């Protein structure tokens, strides 16, 4: 593969598009030198959207994933996945005129913003839920339609109490800020890692963090996802279901109020 994809969404989740150069076209998808598309990871779904070609044609992107090596390990590429039949055509030595795209072409990468914003609102809401339920998390899924966290605990949870707590934290308009700590700083504060199943990536020397709250700290933990800048942007979020998934797991599902 080529050089590492510049992930613009890490520093500004509100960017909806960017110009980019096609650096590779592989069976895993289209790789750009820079992108606003978030790849599936940390429980958050990958972005969808379009790549706008120089002549104005649009290639629909149905998912975004991290690149994989032959051994299954992830690399630094971000792969924009078109529909399977389109990707097959792009990989053909003789591309049709309708889908022609080659390495070196300039495109505009544009996400489905309405969908992304729902993901940002839900992801930020899960951080509020971590504040209300201070237990380790052993599963997470953030989609445009719902979010869920699986907590490692045996005590029962009350749906109405949690919904009221979320409403209070949303209304308080707490600021959400992106930061970073070193590997050594995280080693000295292992309690910051609240996930049992996913560990923050190490090796680069800096680990991205999300902090909710200023004077009043609501949540602070390593996180690579996209979030709104203020809890007030989450809107009316409610606990739709609480399930006992096992003797030591309580699943909390979030949805947006109708």
Topology at the third CATH level for domain 6-111: Elongation Factor Tu (Ef-tu); domain 3 (2.40.30)
pTM of the prediction? 0.93
In the prediction, which pLDDT does 73 show?
Answer: 67
Which two tokens mark 121?
A: 């609102």
96 pLDDT tier (thresholds 50, 70, 90): low
Per residue in 36-94, pLDDT (tens digit) is 999 999 899 999 999 999 999 999 999 999 988 767 667 779 999 998 888 888 888 77
**CATH topology of 6-111 equal to that of 115-256?**
no
Per residue in 192-219, pLDDT (tens digit) is 988 877 777 666 678 999 999 998 999 9
b/e map 47-72, b = 16+ CB within 10 Å: bbbbbbbeeeeebebebbbbbeeeee
Strand order in the sheet with 237-246: 137-142, 147-152, 249-256, 237-246
In the prediction, which pLDDT does 1 show?
Answer: 44
CATH 3.40.350.10 for domain 115-256, yes or no, is no
In the prediction, which pLDDT does 187 show?
Answer: 87
- Each domain of the chain, given as residue ranges in start order, spans 6-111, 115-256
Per residue in 131-185, pLDDT (tens digit) is 999 999 999 999 999 999 999 999 999 999 999 999 999 999 999 999 999 988 9
Q: In angstroms, rounded to a whole number, what is the distance separating the alpha carbons of residues 192 and 186?
A: 7
Torsional class of 66: left (φ above 0), alpha (ψ -120 to 50), beta (otherwise): beta
In the prediction, which pLDDT does 3 show?
Answer: 67
pLDDT exceeds 70 at position 14:
yes
Backbone angles phi, psi at 85, to 5 degrees: -70, -30
């Amino acid at each position: 593969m080529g050089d590492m994809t510049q992930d613009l969404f890490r520093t500004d989740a509100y960017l909806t598009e960017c110009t980019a150069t096609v650096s590779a076209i592989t069976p895993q998808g289209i790789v750009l030198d820079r992108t606003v598309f978030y790849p599936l990871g940390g429980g958050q779904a990958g972005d969808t959207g379009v790549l706008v070609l120089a002549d104005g044609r649009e290639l629909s992107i149905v998912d975004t994933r991290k690149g994989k090596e032959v051994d299954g390990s992830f690399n630094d590429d971000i792969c924009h996945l078109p529909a399977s039949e389109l990707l097959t055509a792009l990989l053909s030595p003789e591309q049709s005129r309708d889908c022609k795209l080659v390495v070196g072409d300039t495109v505009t990468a544009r996400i489905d913003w309405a969908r992304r914003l729902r993901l940002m609102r839900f992801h930020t809401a899960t951080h509020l839920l971590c504040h209300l339920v201070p237990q380790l998390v052993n599963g997470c899924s953030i989609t445009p339609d719902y979010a869920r966290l699986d907590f490692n605990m045996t005590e029962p949870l009350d749906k109405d109490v949690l919904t009221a707590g979320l409403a209070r934290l949303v209304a308080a308009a707490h600021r959400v800020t992106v930061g970073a700590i070193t590997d050594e700083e995280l080693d000295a504060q292992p309690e910051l890692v609240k996930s049992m199943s996913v560990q923050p990536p190490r090796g680069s020397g800096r680990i991205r963090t999300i902090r909710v709250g200023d004077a009043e700290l609501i949540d602070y933990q390593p996180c690579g996802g996209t979030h709104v800048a203020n809890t007030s942007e989450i809107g009316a979020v409610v606990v739709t279901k609480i399930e006992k998934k096992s003797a030591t797991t309580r699943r909390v599902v979030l949805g947006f109020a109708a």
